[in-house]
Amino acid sequence: MPITVTPTAIPDVLVIEPKVFGDDRGWFFESFNEKDFAAAIRQPITFVQDNHSSSKKGVLRGLHYQMEQTQGKLVRVCYGAVFDVAVDLRQSSPTFGKWVGMELSAENKKQLWIPEGFAHGFLVLSDEAEFLYKTTDYWHATSEQCIVWNDATLNIEWPKMDVSPILNPKDQSGLSWAAASKFA
C-alpha cells in the first residue's frame, strides 16, 4: 500500500501519509487513491466536493460542522503549515468531547481523515498557507454551526503565536461547547 495510516488519540481520526518518490528532479506522490483510501478506513467513501483556501499567518478557521449533510473530510496542506484540530461531537462515542490536533504542512505531506460527526478547524502557522480538503457531502449553509475556538471546556492547546488569532465574525461568535448541537 503506498500510504501509511496511523490512528490518532481518537481512533476514527486517521493520519494518512503518502509514499513520496523523490530524486534529484523533485518528488511525486499520489495525494488520493480511492482503493487505498477505502482499505485504510475500512469502508468505501465517495467525495463530492474539493475545497481550497488560502490564509495568512494567524488566521484561525473553525471549529465548523454541519448538522445536516454531515461531512467527512480528508484535509491536507499544499503550501505552508497549519495546526489542524478535530473535535468529537458524537455522544455515543467513547471519545465524545475530546479533540486531537496536529501540524499539517507542505513539507510533511501528512493528511488527516476526519469522519462525519466532528467539528473541524485550523490555525495558520506559516506566513501563508494553502489548505485543501475533500468532503463527503456538500456545504449546507443553513445547518452549519461553529464552536468557539477557545472554549474553556474543550481546552484546545493551540500553538502559541506572537499574534492574536485572526477570526471572521462567524468564528468570533461561535457557540460554547455546552450550547453547541451534538450528534447522537
Cα distance between residue 69 and residue 112, in whole Å? 20
Cα distance between residue 125 and residue 103, in whole Å? 9
- Per-domain residue ranges for the chain? 46-172
Cα distance between residue 168 and residue 145, in whole Å? 14
Residue matched to cell numbers 518518490: 21
The residues near 173 (Cβ < 8 Å, ≥ 6 apart) are 146, 148
- Average pLDDT of the segment spanning 111-132: 98
46-172: what CATH class?
Answer: mainly beta
Please report the pLDDT score of residue 142 as a whole number.
95
- Identify residue 133 by its one-letter amino acid code: Y
Q: What is the DSSP letter of 143?
A: G
The number of residues in the chain equals 184
Start-to-end CA span in the chain (Å): 34
Q: Which of 30, 15, 34, 3 is nearest to 110 (CA)?
A: 15
Please report the pLDDT score of residue 82 as a whole number.
98
Question: With bands split at pLDDT 50, 70 and 90, how would you rate the model's confidence at 91?
Answer: very high
Q: What does the pLDDT look like over 2-61, one tens digit per residue?
A: 789 999 999 999 999 988 889 999 888 888 989 989 988 889 999 999 999 999 999 999
Q: Which of 123, 128, 122 is nearest to 73 (CA)?
A: 122
Active site (catalytic) residues: 64, 133
